[in-house]
Amino acid sequence: MKLYNTLSRSVEELTINGGPIRIYVCGLTPQSHIHVGHTRTFVVFDVLRRFLEYSGHKVIHVQNFTDIDDKIIAKAKELGIQPSEVAEKYIQEYFEVMDKLHVLRAHYYPRVTQNIPEIIDFVNRLIDRGYAYVSDGDVYFEVRKFKDYGKLSHQKVDELIAGARVEPSEKKRNPEDFALWKSVSPSEIGWPSPWGKGRPGWHIECSTMIKKYLGDTIDIHGGGQDLIFPHHENEAAQSEALTGKPLAHHWVHVGWVTMGKVKMSKSVGNVVNLVDLLERRESNVVRLALISTHYRGPLEFDDTLLDQAEANLKRISTALFNLHQRVKKDVVDRGERLKPSPKEVLDQFLVSLGEDLDTPRALGILFEFIRTINNALSSDTLTKPDALSALETLNQMLGILGLEFKKPSVDLNTEKLIELILQLREEARMRRDYATADKIRLKLAELGIIVEDTKDGPRWRAKQ
């Protein structure tokens, strides 16, 4: 498949080396409710993973939790509990929300607090190699020692300083240097290290965990667009300074979510948290809304988007229901076939996803397919084999998108009841009591049941 690579700024074929595809996605700092901005990233990578697995690849997906940082500590103080309790609460909430959204679980969820010895070792080796220096209990990465610095975010070190995107400090040799380890006072939370008590910087955890769980070079490194600089730039610098190898072949970044055209963020205050959202909207609705535009562009999140997703889901579930009904019955084969065939539709769908994960195009193909199915149902030309393969195709597409539907079931008695009413209507027609026959048909239509008189007798289906 092809994916946009932030590093080269172009859509590139994904390098597949025969082994599993190793994906690392920067995870959550569990310090408050997960919001729609974070969720979009995780859902997009879930579709990518499902697509790769459907295409026959083995995927290893690792995603971290930054389970200690200044914000978590501040929140814990405010609530009078331990930072680990704050982190645990929001990690559990993360899993509850992601399970509801059918996001597949990663293979590993490493946490900072469980990888401190590995982080210290990584920092030590950067010092040994001359890329990092100790300063009054802190350790800094010396950016100018790493000649490729800026290659991911496409900026030069001098531009960073001019643009005030880096902060000078008395402890640093240069303003662009960043912390690998920060000292803390004896009363603060921290870990012993060769440089005294302290805590790791944010960027070093990801470099360490990637190396530990996935190796020196991974296939896809992902995250939200706002992580490109400084987080991913610094990760690449740390890892590549240590190993001399590229950290990732593909850097994939998901665009942000906006509300009123302003980026959704805690600091602006325009956040929609998922716990609240999932109380008012079905998980399929949220999931479909999040993949309805291309992952690289911004996504304007509002009720119009959710209403649209809800209406579209209704079209899918109605089609599934009608197909399930149709496969139960034999229809006289008049030689008509679905065009394009379910197989052709599935191929187009997969091609779309293979081209930089084009979910809006794939969804367009899915809904066009539903129109084709509906037309065949209305004109009563859908054969049982076509209905079966349409159903299977639809389920495969929905599986890749991670949309889940319960197998539609009208209970047996309801079905028999409808058949009985239709039988009585037939008897009315035999008596030429068309008023009664029409009344039954109209009343059933009001209940969402469409009755059609065909050469083979009356047929019913749910309203599309």
Q: Which lies closer to Zn ion via its Cβ, residue 5 or residue 389? A: 5
55 near Zn ion (CB under 5 A): yes
Q: Is 266 annotated as a binding residue?
A: yes
101 near Zn ion (CB under 5 A): no
Q: Which lies closer to Zn ion via its Cβ, residue 226 or residue 310? A: 226
Q: Which lies closer to Zn ion via its Cβ, residue 216 or residue 380? A: 216
Burial of 396 (0-12, 13-18, 19+ CB in 10 A): middle
26 near Zn ion (CB under 5 A): yes
What CA–CA distances, in Å, run from 7 to 3, 55, 232, 349?
12, 25, 11, 27
Site size toward Zn ion, by CB under 5 A: 3
Q: Which lies closer to Zn ion via its Cβ, residue 126 or residue 206? A: 206
What CA–CA distances, in Å, run from 46 to 43, 104, 287, 399?
5, 7, 11, 11
Q: Which lies closer to Zn ion via its Cβ, residue 149 or residue 321? A: 149
151 CB-near residues (< 8 Å, 6+ apart): 7, 236
Minimal distance in Å, beta carbon 122 to Zn ion?
14
Cα–Cα distance, 414 to 361 (Å, whole number):
38
330 CB-near residues (< 8 Å, 6+ apart): 384
Instruction: Please report, as residue ranges, which positions from 175 to 214 form the binding site for Zn ion (by CB under 5 A).
Output: 206
Q: Is 133 helix (H, G, I), strand (E, B) or coil?
A: strand
Instruction: Please report, as residue ranges, which positions from 240 to 269 form the binding site for Zn ion (by CB under 5 A).
Output: none
Q: Which lies closer to Zn ion via its Cβ, residue 204 or residue 391? A: 204
Contact flags string 346-385 toward Zn ion, x per CB under 5 A: ----------------------------------------
Near Zn ion by CB under 5 A, which window of 19-27, 166-174, 252-260, 427-435? 19-27
Minimal distance in Å, beta carbon 75 to Zn ion?
21
Q: Which long-range contacts (CB under 8 A, 24 or more apart) does 342-351 make?
A: 342/369, 342/386, 342/389, 342/390, 342/392, 342/393, 343/389, 343/393, 345/369, 345/372, 345/393, 346/393, 346/396, 346/397, 349/397, 349/400, 350/51, 350/54, 350/55
Q: Is 206 annotated as a binding residue?
A: yes
Q: Is 339 annotated as a binding residue?
A: no
73 near Zn ion (CB under 5 A): no
Query: Taking each helix axis from N to C terminus, what angle separates 83-100 and 70-79, rounded to the nearest 10 degrees?
Result: 110
Minimal distance in Å, beta carbon 70 to Zn ion?
17
Annotated binding site for ATP: 266
- The residues of the shown chain that bind Zn ion, judged by CB under 5 A, are 26, 55, 206
Annotated binding site for Zn(2+): 26, 206, 231, 235
Annotated binding site: 26, 206, 231, 235, 266
